[in-house]
Structures are given as C-alpha cells and as structure tokens.
Amino acid sequence: MAGYEYVSPEQLAGFDKYKYSAVDTNPLSLYVMHPFWNTVVKVFPTWLAPNLITFSGFLLLVFNFLLMAYFDPDFYASAPGHKHVPDWVWIVVGILNFIAYTLDGVDGKQARRTNSSTPLGELFDHGLDSWSCVYFVVTVYSIFGRGSTGVSVFVLYLLLWVVLFSFILSHWEKYNTGILFLPWGYDISQVKFDYDVLAWILQSPSDILEIHPRLFYFMVGTAFANITCQLIVCQMSSTRCPTLNWLLVPLFLVVMVVNLGVASHIESVLLYTLTTAFTLAHIHYGVQVVKQLSSHFQIYPFSLRKPNSD
C-alpha cells in the first residue's frame, strides 16, 4: 500500500498531451496583481523550484489555521464575555495570508521564468489550492465567531460549501469542456458526499457540529480536496473520473451508525477517527501522485536539477 500507484498508465499518457489553458478577465488581477507578481518574482533566485514556492505558501495557511485553533478553538473568542484573540495574532495571520496569496500568484511565473513548467506544477498548485479552501475559510470565521454577536456554526458550514463549490465548479467546467465525453459518474460521487455529511449533521444525537465545529470543517474540507484532486487528475489527463470516491464508504458507514442513535462520546470518537483516516489517506494520495508524475517526467518536485545530472 505504501507504494500504491493512483495514476494509471492511461492517465500518465494523457498528461504527456496536456497543454495549460486559462483565461483571466478580472480587472484586479490584470491591472494590479499580475504587475505586482511580475515584480515580486524577480526577487526569487532562478535556482528556486516553483513547487517549493507553492508548498511554502500552503504551509503558511496551515500555520494560520493552527495558530487560530490555539487562540480560538471553539470560535467564541470574538463573542462578548470571552477572552479575545490578541491583536498581534491578527497582524501575523493577515501578513502571512497575504504572503501565501502572493506566493500562489508567483509560482507559475517562476516556472515560466526558469523554463520549468510541467503538468505536475499545475496539478501541485491546484491540488494544494483545493485543500487551502478549508484552512482559509475556517481561519476567517474567527473574525465573526459564534455567540450573540456572531454567526452559527451551521451558517459557516454553508458558507464553506459556497467556497468549495465555487472552486470545484471551475475545474468541473474545464473537465466537461476540455474533453469529448461527459463525466456522469463524477456527479454521483460529489452529490453522495454532500448528502452523507449533511445527513450526519441533521441526524446527530449529540449535535456534533456544535461540539466539534473546527474538526468537522476540516474533515469535510479534506475529503473535498481529495475528490477535487482526482477530478483535476482526470481533467488534465483527459480520462473519465471514477463513479464513486472510496472515501464515501467509511463516511456512509459512520452515517449509518449515527442513525442508530449512538452516544455522544462515541460520535466524537467516530469524527476523530474519520478525520484522521481522511487526512492520512489524502496525504498518501498526494505524495504518491507527486512521486509518480516526478518519475514519469524525470524531474524532482522541489528542485530544478535533473535526476540524470546527479
């Protein structure tokens, strides 16, 4: 299992034919951010691998998420009568978030600048972006928080899904319009996942979302990232998505157990177990896909040196 190959030979062959295509008509991007990124990228040395820039930005978002989890674990820090998040934390989070956004904007420019653009770079970038959605949205929630002056955890859950769907729809559209056949099976997987998670919330005997909102958001965001990454792989390789994602199996079983009216502490254990399993599975998926594509294109993921030059 440690060396399991997620990318099929057919998909590897499809990656060989892939050509990047994107249209950006946003005035802010065209007239403000791109000129800014074009200036910033000149600061980086030409030996710096673009994927290393991408990964650094992602780690900053993860750090922000963990920092806010420490100072505001239950999203009550902004509510009246609760200990507020220190001012310096907001400053640090804001600065790191802007740096992460900037790194995400310059990684592709660094790839073109160093003539090192590959399908792996785009997949790596978009794959980490899909997981970044939950880190960013949940961190921002601490600004509003819960309580009498905030918003409910369920409202934030719905807002999280707005962001998740906005991200996945752009890739779903590209998947549909970039190949000759339509992915009816993928739609079933996505809808089934939405139904199972929502069913857990509505049928939870212990109101699991109220008890562990941050953990529940993270579990959903991680599973979403895995589903999205598989879509991106299929979209870039012009292959058909699988009918169902295997992560739906343990999620479905948990929902079935919840329907039996389990005790609150058992439900919490199930959430922790499922979150751990999803996280390890997604990390394993990401690592193995990067290894496969790195071997296929004969490149190092975090270095511009060529393997045959060692």
Catalytic residues: 126
For tokens 């998040």, name the residue: 85
